[in-house]
Amino acid sequence: MIREQRRRKKRRGALGLTILTLLLLLAIGALVVVKVFTVEEVVVTGNELYEDETIEEWVLNDEYSWNTLYVYLKYKFREPETIPFVDTMEITMKLPHTIEIQVYEKGLMGYIYLDSLGQNAYFDKDGFVVETSSEVIEGIPKISGLSVDAVVLYEQLPIKEGDVLKNLLTLTQTLKKYELVPDNIIYGEDGTYSLEYGTIKVLLGKAGNFSDKVLRITYILPKLEGMSGTLHLESWTENTTDITFEKEEG
């Protein structure tokens, strides 16, 4: 009887020690989580349209976002909040004190203003509408002269006139390649294309030789800084040097 009581007492003591050990480990683990996994640095990459601080505010958006482990696990099992012009974001924990946010923005090539909606329809390199918004994004050219009354998100721009969409996409991609994005790209009723850079208008003529013409513009445009007028490249070919600048008299 006494021996049995001693065995029970010993088992209770071992169980109590086990529980105490587990509680101690949990306490240590909680202390580590609280003291070690604190957000001290946020690294944002891949963003051009939004400032780092704006992206950070969107991701660290609740009262527990001071903890790196919490932030990492939170976005491990759920998608970040939808942000205009952003396709997706990847949130990782590089160090106990560092969160990295990789931003994948929608590839915007230009936008068309829709009178019927009072909004801008932004399209990608393939001509698909990726966003509609009243916001005007700096560095994205406006496309004027096209008759578009309505668009469907994630569908191609409804431009039926021949190869206009194909030529427009070639032009926008060429301009982006040479880092020569204009304020406005104008498609004329006569099938010609022109560009506007502030007070300088560039006439390209009909589709063709876009790459060579844009390359010439990269050499000429810096020399026209501070001027107003029209640069004529509509008759230019590889076999001619027919480029003139018609200066506006102020």
Q: What is the CATH number of the domain that holds 79?
A: 3.10.20
φ, ψ of residue 86 in degrees (nearest 5):
-110, 125
The yes-or-no verdict on residue 38 having pLDDT over 90 is: no
Distance (Å) of CA 120 to CA 68, 157, 165, 201: 38, 12, 17, 23
Pair 234, 173 in one domain: yes
Min mean pLDDT across 3-7, 22-26, 37-41, 202-206 is at: 3-7
Is residue 36, in this structure, part of any structural domain at all? no
Q: Identify the pLDDT of residue 39.
A: 87
Domains of the chain: total: 2
Last residue of a domain, one of 105, 125, 156: 105
Pair 205, 241 in one domain: yes
Q: Is 69 helix (H, G, I), strand (E, B) or coil?
A: helix
- Could you tell me the residue range of the domain that residue 170 belongs to? 110-247
Is residue 135, in this structure, part of any structural domain at all? yes
Handedness of CA 30, 36, 41, 43 (dihedral sign): negative
Pair 151, 214 in one domain: yes
The yes-or-no verdict on residue 96 having pLDDT over 90 is: no
Last residue of a domain, one of 105, 128, 144: 105
Pair 114, 81 in one domain: no
Higher pLDDT, 83 or 202: 202
Last residue of a domain, one of 105, 136, 157: 105
Residue range 88-112: average pLDDT?
92
The yes-or-no verdict on residue 5 having pLDDT over 80 is: no
Cα 207 to chain centroid distance, Å, stands at 29
Q: Is 25 helix (H, G, I), strand (E, B) or coil?
A: helix
